[in-house]
């Protein structure tokens, strides 16, 4: 188990585009495990993208199991292949502590990715899972929720 340091807004790595993962080797599996441990060690995180721990590779972890949803999901090279409808959700981000914002996202998405075994998977998501997947995949392109939010709020402690 290894917890990695979460990079915060202002760190230029969060603004860079991550590279596709071509080979799923032990380093990538370790990265995914560490990302999961880092996510679980954070108080209210439900998703984490590799650039948030300083690695510019297209990998995300999502865990909504404590909210009664899906997870843990460890996705490699995730890509939104279909998006439908709209929903507005109040989002936060482990890289932007203390701030929440309302962001308009698709109501439903279909995401294609590889799992840890390198198998192609297709995920249909709606509600909060769709929001988290969009948020994390944005991180892989250097986009933060604050770029898209229309209203901001202080996060209550």
For the annotated catalytic residues, the residue numbers are 136
# binding residues, Zn ion (CB under 5 A):
1
Write each residue from 7 to 46 as x if it is in contact with Zn ion (CB under 5 A), else as -, in one continuous string.
----------------------------------------
One DSSP character per residue, the chain reads --PPPPP-TT-GGGGSPPBPP----HHHHHHHHHHHHHHHHSSS--EEEGGGGT--BSEEEE--GGGTS---EEEEEEEEEEEES-EEEEE--TTSTTEEEEEEE-SEEEEEEE-TTS-EEEEEEEHHHHHHHHHHHHHTTT--GGGT-SEEEEPP-
Q: Which of residues 64-93 bind Zn ion (CB under 5 A)?
A: 93
Which residue's CB atom is positioned nearest to Zn ion?
A: 93
CB of 49 to Zn ion, least distance (A): 7
Rounded to a whole number of angstroms, the minimum distance from the CB of residue 122 to Zn ion is: 23
6 binds Zn ion (CB under 5 A): no
Per-residue binding letters, 93-122, with Zn ion (x by CB under 5 A): x-----------------------------
In the complex with Zn ion, the residue whose CB is nearer, 76 or 139, is: 139
Nearest CA to 19 among 143, 145, 117, 141? 141
Query: To the nearest whole angstrom, how small is the minimum distance from the Cβ of residue 150 to Zn ion?
Result: 17
Which residues of this chain interact with Zn ion, rule CB under 5 A? 93
């Amino acid at each position: 188990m290894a917890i990695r340091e979460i990079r915060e807004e202002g760190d230029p790595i969060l603004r860079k585009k991550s590279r596709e993962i071509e080979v799923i080797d032990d380093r990538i599996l370790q990265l995914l495990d560490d990302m999961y441990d880092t996510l679980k060690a954070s108080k209210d995180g439900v998703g984490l993208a590799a650039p948030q721990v300083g690695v510019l590779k297209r990998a995300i972890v999502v865990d909504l199991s404590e909210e009664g949803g899906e997870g843990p999901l460890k996705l490699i090279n995730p890509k939104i292949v279909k998006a439908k409808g709209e929903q507005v959700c109040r989002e936060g981000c482990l890289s932007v502590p203390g701030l929440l914002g309302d962001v308009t996202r698709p109501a439903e998405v279909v995401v294609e990715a590889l799992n840890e075994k390198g198998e192609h998977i297709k995920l249909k998501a709606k509600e909060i899972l769709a929001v988290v997947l969009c948020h994390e995949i944005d991180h892989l392109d250097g986009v933060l929720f604050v770029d898209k939010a229309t209203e901001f709020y202080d996060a209550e402690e």
